Structure 1
Amino acid sequence: MLKNKNLASLTLILLITAFALGVWHLHTPAPAGSPLPLPQIPPKAKITLLPLDGRPPCRQFVINGGRIAGLEVSVPPGELQDYYSLPGNTQGMKDWLMNDLSDSSAALISIDQLLHGGLLAAREKNASHAEVDSLTAYLRNLHEKYPAVPLYAFSILPRLTPQDSIDGYQERKDLIAYSRLAGRKAAGLAVDENELRRLEEAIPPQSLSAYLAHFKENEYLNQKLIDLTREGILTKLVLGQDDGEAYSIPNIEKSALLGYIAASGLDSSRVFLTHGADEIALTLLAGIENQRTGFAPKVCLDCNTPETLQKIMPYMAVDMETTAREKIALLGGEETNNPEEADFILFMSAIDNKEDTLKSRAKSTARLNKYQLAGKQLAIVDLSQHFTGSECLFPQLLEEDFPVSSLAAYSGWNTASNSIGTASSQASLYLAALSACEDKDEAVQTAYAQSAFLQGRIMEDYYYLKQDIDEVNNSLKKAGYTNTADLDLEHNYRWATAMLQKSLNGHLSAYQNTRAARTPYQVAWQKGELTLALHHLKIDASFPWPRTFEVNLLAYPELHQIP
């Protein structure tokens, strides 16, 4: 009798499973077409990259973007690269760069890496005038050795937040308040002078001096770089403002540099100021590819609500519209108000539960569907005011079976400048590459690289950063970690990575079997067209640094060609 009951239970379970699988297949298209082999084509050119730091957005994204364009992006060996709070080997970087340019078409050079050993090190160090002068002499020598190789340099202005070496809670709080008031006063706005004096007196003199000296030293550095650009040593210089606010001491330095640029007779084609940091190298790469192919993308801006254009997101000093226009200009594009003539639509969604903008998602998806049916390329920036999945547009796209694998770009990283810069650069690289494709093999190679970048962004920016990171952090805290930004990966790397991969693979399994992911899409180049579909997706994810803030995520799509 017990055996029969067990058999009946097993039969019931199998029937339920079969029914569930049947329902699943009703909602998921069966794989179609034939596997598309990846051709092996030599790179069209080599670009040397000295990255801002070793994090994926600064290094791996540029490598992946180069693959879309058929470019080899050469990066320094890992042993020279910075690792979290450990700065990179600056002399080793100089030696490597001096040798690597021998067969390069251009160089993208992070001044923060070359001078300090990375962005985090640059936030803590002050460079003496002698060190800056030594750097400028090196850049002169580099140009003299390779006069035909354009040098694109980028330097990041110090952020509002005090250096970590100023670690007193109250003095850090007072310095931030002081910086904001000083910035407002410098902009000609009324401030509470008594409060400004009180803060000035309350902050320990050595802390205030160290804080202010950081900006003065950085101003001297950037003036010297502007001089090199005026002389033609540097082909282009980009100055980025990292984690900015509307009024602060960093903006005082920025204003002084704008005056210096104007006095030097340089325009934005030679020295460009932008808000952001991590995305600058990728945007410069897109600009180089546009010059190489003669492609100048026309970009139309659209948003989830009209108010989004004027919205200032966390860690930003300017609104979304200003940021988007900066990134379009930096990559050599042109804004258009006419969607019909646009090469791609840059659609920006910025949802805030407290402002009741969730209802905009349905209207946004309807507009995106119209664009897609009209054959327009779409780059989606999917931002969340509180960094939660519930404020993202992406789940609405999945629910309504929007063909996400057809997107020219998707990005929803931590700040608006990172996301807008990454999405616009990816879309531009993709379309520039297609415009220059000579045959099917080149188009296939571009399509593979594009899909790998796109699917990686979806898995990290939506699934990891808006969902999985909370699960991982909560598990770490239960295990006794109080600071997930300072993990002991030397002893717990396998456990932390296994937890990360388990969480992500659960979402991957569900995502890759949605209609939204598997719907076929067209890839058109100047001499033909392909219809492709995502058949299967694998990912590899790990923590590049001992913190959970970002992951090194590589996506490996299997694409099928549909007859």
Structure 2
Amino acid sequence: MRNSSKIIFIICTIMLISGICLRLALPSSIPLKLKQPTPTQSILLLPLDSRPVCSTMVQKLGALAGLNVILPPKSYLDNYQTPSDRQKLFPWLQKNQLLCDYSIISADNLLHGGLLAARMNTATPSEEDELLKQLRQLPITRQQAIFSVIPRLLVSDQLLPDRWYQYQLMRYSQLADMVRITGSFALTQELRRTEAKIPPKVLEKYRSRYQQSDRFNLGLLKLATDDRRITFGQDDASPIGLPHASAVKLQSSIVAQKLQQQAQLTYGADEIASLLLVRYYLQQSNWQPKVYLHYASPKAESADMPYMAVCVGAALRNQLKLIGASEVSTPDSADLICYVNCGNDDFRPSVKQAQELQQMLDQDYKVALIDSSTNFEAEELLLPQLLANNVPINKLAAYAAWNTFSNSSGTALAQGLLFCGRLRQLQTAGADPERLAALFAANLNFTAERILEDYYYQKLVHPQLRQTLEAFGANPVELDSEDKTATEQYIQGKLSLQAYKLLHDNLGRTPFYQQNGQSYYLRDLSVGAKLPWARIFEAELQVWTDTGVKTE
């Protein structure tokens, strides 16, 4: 890999220059500096972990709605397999939450040091009790939202020898839940046979993960009040298994204690902070948005997507309920349309779906595209069809095509509703065209970032990059510093080319906003890329855009 880094960089540079020469000129426009508004409120976020999807992306979403999202110092947070500094995080929280209008707090980060550390179950019962005591004593001068994540079905890859029994543990988990539900003698017999294939210490450790999680989460539920709302998520879940049993137990406790307004269960993890941010914004705006769910295929609503505990329709309605939005039955009555694509072996989007979405945009509907793929393949996404058929994706209210369905839907809902809500506020206040254009430009910047990461990086660059790294003897999930630097150069070159193509083929060819004879165009789009951790699973992108105006 070290000897090839210069070659990779030269190849990417040649590709970039070749691509530039082949692109058509953009429509002429006068450069315009659009000022973004000064934030009006401060939101404290103690994230699930340091990955961009859990931290800086929430900051960028907040900026769309004039919310300043404050994160802990980077040195306090986790770095891949190194947990967060828990001794510093809670004092930081105590000090800074008093200065903010709202606090979003990950119990898993305070307890374990991040999501990956939580999968290792690093905290002891006494540490759990101490954290519950600290949270109980935390002053509620402003509203708080605390969230905790039920452990996932699969054990961590870092756990040995546990991961050697991954299939047996997964099967045990599913059978144990099915026996709980049905009481079947035949399933009980199969459960006993499966137990016998797992070393007793490994099985006991696996069981204890859920027992300990249940104990802590039930204790956390006791802290729920109108000003301290509790949310429980699920990490890489399944419709059946011990995580499902834990969710059922929690939901039953919420109902039994009549805490449905103070505590909620949802079906994801990484997107929870974004959803809680939207919930606060909607409450402060005194607005209950109406959302129309449109599915690209007849079977999409009932589809079971990977790592999801419920079907697509149930997951979406759960998220709408969590944030305080309502579902409507017609697009004309909606503030936002969620266009939901779930590509799989039996359904791949075509020109029909591209034309359908084009018609929605032509009618000036605000559309958030949730572009999901069962097999994590580009061919199952709708975006390639939109690009091939010249659909102006700069008019989308939101876009997301991240790894799990709940991550994508949560991100798209958050972006779409924050954008629509802020637009509603500005229009009601009689904002001038440039201020409205600034909002549309900021939203397009976020959309471009999601397209470059969720589509170009995750679906196109990542699979090839993994093969390249493995061919050169590098480990894609454990890069040394030299390999990480060379890999970042490779990603930077690839995404810079894709950003240029995206701008000249679509985003910059038509105005992203028009009013009073003024058309606002995207003039430039550039991207900075690096790896937040020493692995290629996710990239950390920063997108910059320049805008122009033209009288038409």
TM-score, shorter chain, exceeding 0.5: yes
Tell me the distance in 1 between the aligned counterparts of 2:364 and 2:297.
Answer: 23
Q: In the alignment, which of 466, 470, 481 is matched to residue 473 of structure 1? A: 466
Structure 1 position 249, deviation (Å): 0.7
Superposed displacement of residue 259, structure 1: 1.6
**Secondary structure class of the residue paired with 1:192:** helix
Please tell me whether the aligned partners of residues 393 and 506 of structure 2 are also in contact (alpha carbons under 8 angstroms): no
The C-alpha deviation readout for 1:394-442, integer Å capped at 9, x for no partner, is 1110111111111110000100000001001100011111112243364
Please show how residues 108-127 of structure 1 align to structure 2 within 5 Å: 108-127=104-123
Does the 8 Å CA contact 1:397/1:516 hold for their aligned counterparts?
A: no
CA contact (8 A) 1:522 1:529 kept: no
Give me the whole-angstrom Cα distance separating, in 1, the residues matched to 2:376 and 2:179: 32
Identity between Structure 1 and Structure 2 (%): 32
**1:139 alignment partner in structure 2:** 135
Give per-residue Cα distances to partners, 1:436-460, cap 9 Å, x unaligned: 2243364344333312211100001
Q: CA deviation at 1:137?
A: 1.9
Give the distance between the partners of 2:99 and 2:518, measured in 1 at CA: 34
Are 2:124 and 1:128 aligned?
Answer: yes
Q: Which of 31, 34, 49 is residue 35 of structure 1 equivalent to?
A: 31
Deviation at 1:476, TM superposition (A): 0.8
The answer to whether 1:187 aligns with 2:181 is yes
TM-score norm. by structure 2 comes to 0.91
Secondary structure of the 2:355 match is: helix
Task: Verify the 8 A CA contact 1:314 1:385 in the aligned structure 2.
Answer: yes
Residue 411 of structure 1 pairs with residue 400 of structure 2: yes
Aligned residue in 2 for 1:537:
525
In structure 2, the residue matched to 1:11 is: none
Query: Of 66, 70, 89, which aligns to 1:70?
Result: 66
Q: Any unmatched runs of 5+ in structure 1?
A: 1-16
Aligned to 1:258: 251
Instruction: Write the letter of the residue equivalent to 1:497.
Output: E
Tell me if 1:104 matches 2:89.
no
Determine if the alignment matches structure 1 residue 429 to structure 2 residue 418: yes
Alignment check: 8 A CA contact 1:537 1:557 kept: yes
Give deviations 1:323-343, integer Å, cap 9, x for gaps.
Answer: 111112222111011100111
Identify which of 206, 209, 216 aligns with 1:211. 206
Report the CA distance between 1:517 and its aligned residue.
4.7
Return 5+ residue gaps in structure 2 as ranges.
Answer: 1-16
d(CA) in 1 for partners of 2:518 and 2:42? Answer: 28
The residue correspondences of 1:223-302 to structure 2 (distance < 5 A) are 223-230=218-225, 235-267=228-260, 269-302=261-294
Q: Partner residue of 2:496?
A: 505
Could you say which residue in structure 2 is the equivalent of 1:451? 444
Which stretch of the first structure deviates more once superposed, 506-515 or 103-112? 506-515
1:290–1:332 Cα contact (<8 Å) kept:
yes
User: Which one has a bigger Cα radius of gyration?
Assistant: 1
The 3 A distance-change label for structure 1 pair 323 and 211 is same
The Cα RMSD (Å) is: 2.1
CA distance in structure 2 between the aligned counterparts of 1:227 and 1:193, rounded to whole angstroms = 34
SS at match of 2:182: coil
**8 Å Cα contact 1:70/1:446 also seen in 2:** no
User: How far is 1:516 from its partner?
Assistant: 5.1
Indicate conservation of the 8 Å contact 1:67/1:446, yes or no: no
Q: Which moved more, 1:384-393 or 1:168-177?
A: 168-177
> In structure 1, what is the equivalent of residue 10 of structure 2?
none
The 3 A distance-change label for structure 1 pair 154 and 97 is: same
TM-score, normalised to structure 1's length? 0.90
Deviation at 1:141, TM superposition (A): 2.5
**In 2 relative to 1, CA 102–531 (structure 1 residues): closer, same or farther, beyond 3 Å?**
farther
Residues 452, 555 of structure 1: 8 Å contact kept = yes
Give deviations 1:328-362, integer Å, cap 9, x for gaps.
2222111011100111110111112x31x22x422
Q: 1:167 to 1:449 in 2, by over 3 A?
A: farther
Distance 2:74 2:351 in 1: 45
1:3-42 alignment, distance < 5 Å: 24-25=23-24, 30-39=26-35, 41-42=37-38
**Matches of 1:270 and 1:55, distance apart in 2:** 28
- Whether the 8 Å CA contact 2:440–2:513 is kept in 1: the answer is no
Q: In structure 1, which of residues 363, 373, 391 is the aligned counterpart of residue 380 of structure 2?
A: 391
Task: Read off the aligned partner of 1:515 and give its amino acid letter.
Answer: N
2:12 maps to which residue? none
In structure 2, give the amino acid aligned to 1:381: I
Q: 1:550 aligns with which of 538, 544, 548?
A: 538
Post-superposition CA distance 1:231-286 (Å, at most 9, x none) = x5x5211100111111101111111111211121111x311111110000001111
Equivalent position to 1:345, from 323, 337, 340: 337
> How far, CA to CA, are the matches of 1:420 and 1:207 in structure 2?
35
CA contact (8 A) 2:234 2:268 kept: yes
Displacement after TM superposition at 1:167 (Å):
2.8
- Shift in alpha-carbon separation, 1:220–1:118, aligned structure 2, 3 A: same
How many residues matched?
Answer: 528
**Cα distance in 1 for residues equivalent to 2:498 and 2:191:** 50
Matched residue type, 1:463? Y
Change (3 A) 1:515 1:452: closer
- Report the Cα distance in structure 2 between the residues aligned to 1:538 and 1:187, rounded to whole angstroms: 53
Question: Could you tell me which residue of structure 1 aligns to residue 77 of structure 2?
Answer: 81
Q: Separation in 1 of the partners of 2:491 and 2:324? A: 38
In structure 2, how many angstroms separate the alpha carbons of the residues matched to 1:505 and 1:377? Answer: 29
What is the CA-CA distance between 1:318 and the residue it aligns to? 1.1
1:482-530 CA-to-partner distances (Å, cap 9, x unmatched) read: x311211x23232111011111122222211113553113378xxx997
